[in-house]
């Protein structure tokens, strides 16, 4: 990997780390690599561009679109749409690549650029490296912004294409999409004769959703309402600066309180670009990504739809998840953190389910990337079909105490090369033995090193994590 791309695209503080000039140059480099893979420029490729509601997304979108069109790429602007919506539409609309402007769960001052290749799949490391190399090459050239052989790209707006994405999500749980109908009709629609109950799988469920004032604010309430739920929505008034602020999957307090206040059966929290979600049960207890993944894995395995009898998880997955899967006879394949690594392992092994603790869940039969809205409707439909509350389903795994410390402003390369830190990590692992885990890794999205310690005893986990974090701080 080069220095520009992190775990999930290019990310930084908008206007400082990620300004309009860099966005335009990155777009031009990506156009060359993704739009003209064979080098021929006799025709114009097509790119889709979406964004979340951050204020900075407006000027960054303009810069990206200018960079693409200036290199001869036709551009369809999708407007505000979840990241997985861009991935899906890149595939179904036959685009050569897709671009999403979002910093996901990060606060409003941050933003980022994510790319999807043809088919709506995230880029492998080697393709990102090629874009970085092309960026450096173009920076030294004088004629990058000349007239493209096939002419400048044309730009059009197509926010309505989000309806295709919504219709797809509904179809995965057997619901027929309705455009513009009163939501009360969604609960009275006729059931499909071949799939009794499938027309409204969430009928009778009251669900609170927190859209983090983010990209799902318009679509998520419609998704769950058309699936039959009585939906109470919060975090659906984006103003460009309130995204992820005290709400969404990174701040569950408002959702937990709303679920209890309204007597809801469940709560769902999305992050800013809705590629992940977390859940809350009827008592306000949090159900994290490991628990969601366990619930879905067991349900798919019981129905014979878990490909290879295997689920893919990251190194951060709770020890309790691993033990629950082992007890159920389900194999676990482990990957580095980041949903693109999950997807790569899933494609390589032809597996259908993967995910991580943060709530990135990949249902590869229905999506090419993590999708919070897709995950939420399948989680709730699984619970509704079982006739059991989410709290009971979540008991399929016992969560081991897990302490996570982010040590900021670190020289990540120096930490990785430190013999002192390596020795301390090995000593910690020996101390915990089979009853715990230690993981120290650089963040792919922040200037930080993450320390994670699991143990049967939370106090011991805290002591070990603090000890390692202190060494990292001393390293500077």
* Active-site residue set: 104
Q: Provide the sign of the torsion angle of the four alpha carbons 73, 74, 79, 84, taken in this order.
A: negative
111, with CB counted inside 10 A (0-12, 13-18, 19+), is buried
Q: How far apart are CA 2 and CA 299, in angstroms?
A: 40
SS (H, E, C) the chain: CCCCCECCEEEEEECCCECHHHHHHHHHHHHHHHHCCCCCCCCCCEEEEEECCCCHHHHHHHHHHHHHHHCCCEEEEEEECCHHHHHHHHHHCCCCEEEEECCCCCCCCEEEEEEEECCCEECCHHHHHHHHHHHHHHHCCCCCCCCCCCCCCCEEECHHHHHHHHHHHHHCCCCCCCCCCCHHHHCCCCCCCCCCCCCCCCCCCEEEEECCCCCCCCHHHHHHHHCCCEEEEECCCCCCCCCCCCCHHHCCHHHHHHHHHCCCCEEEEECCCCCCEEEEECCCCEECHHHHHHHHHHHHHHCCCCHHHEEEEECCCCHHHHHHHHHCCCEEEEECCCHHHHHHHHHHHCCCEEECCCCCEEECCCCCCCCHHHHHHHHHHHHHHHCCCHHHHHHHCCCCCEEEEEEECCCHHHHHCCHHHHHHHHHHHHHHHHHEEEEEEECCCCCEEEEEEEECCHHHHHHHHHHHHHHHHHHC
What lies within 8 Å, CB to CB, of 221 at 6+ separation is 209, 211, 231, 233, 236
Q: How far apart are CA 289 and CA 372, in angstroms?
A: 11
């Amino acid at each position: 990997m080069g220095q520009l791309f992190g775990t999930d695209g290019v990310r930084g503080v908008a206007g400082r780390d990620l300004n309009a000039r860099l966005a335009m140059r990155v777009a031009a480099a990506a156009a060359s690599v993704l739009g003209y893979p064979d080098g021929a420029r006799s025709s114009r490729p097509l790119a889709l561009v979406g964004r979340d509601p951050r204020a900075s997304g407006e000027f960054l979108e303009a810069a990206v679109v200018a960079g693409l069109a200036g290199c001869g790429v036709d551009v369809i602007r999708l407007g505000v749409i979840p990241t997985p919506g861009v991935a899906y539409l890149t595939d179904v609309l036959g685009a050569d690549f897709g671009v999403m402007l979002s910093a996901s769960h990060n606060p409003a001052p941050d933003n980022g650029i994510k790319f999807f290749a043809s088919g709506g799949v995230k880029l492998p490391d080697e393709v990102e490296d090629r874009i970085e190399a092309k960026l450096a090459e173009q920076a030294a050239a004088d004629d990058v912004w000349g007239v493209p052989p096939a002419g400048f790209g044309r730009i059009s707006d197509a926010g309505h294409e989000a309806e295709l994405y919504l219709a797809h999500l509904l179809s995965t749980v057997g619901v027929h999409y309705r455009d513009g109908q009163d939501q009360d009709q969604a609960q009275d629609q006729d059931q499909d004769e071949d799939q009794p109950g499938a027309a409204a799988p969430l009928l009778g469920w009251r669900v609170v959703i927190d859209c983090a004032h983010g990209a799902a604010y318009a679509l998520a309430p419609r998704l769950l309402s058309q699936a039959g739920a009585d939906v109470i929505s919060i975090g659906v008034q984006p103003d460009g600066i309130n995204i992820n602020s005290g709400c969404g999957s990174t701040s569950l307090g408002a959702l937990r309180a709303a679920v209890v206040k309204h007597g809801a059966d469940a709560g769902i929290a999305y992050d800013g670009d809705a590629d992940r979600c977390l859940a809350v049960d009827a008592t306000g207890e949090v159900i994290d990504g490991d628990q969601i993944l366990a619930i879905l894995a067991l349900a798919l395995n019981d129905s014979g739809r878990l490909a290879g009898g295997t689920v893919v998880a990251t190194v951060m997955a709770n020890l309790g998840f691993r033990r629950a899967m082992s007890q159920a006879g389900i194999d676990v394949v482990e990957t580095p953190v980041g949903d693109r690594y999950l997807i790569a392992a899933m494609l390589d092994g032809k597996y259908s389910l993967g995910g991580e603790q943060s709530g990135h869940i990949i249902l590869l039969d229905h999506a090419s990337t993590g999708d919070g809205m897709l995950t939420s409707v399948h989680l709730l439909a699984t619970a509704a079909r079982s006739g059991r509350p989410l709290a009971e389903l979540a008991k399929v795994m016992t969560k081991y105490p897990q302490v996570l410390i982010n040590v900021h402003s670190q020289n990540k390369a120096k930490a990785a090369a430190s013999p002192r830190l390596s020795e301390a990590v090995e000593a910690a692992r020996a101390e915990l033995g089979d009853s715990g885990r230690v993981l120290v890794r650089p963040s792919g999205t922040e200037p930080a090193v993450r320390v994670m310690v699991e143990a049967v005893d939370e106090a011991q986990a805290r002591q070990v994590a603090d000890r390692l974090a202190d060494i990292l701080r001393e390293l500077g």
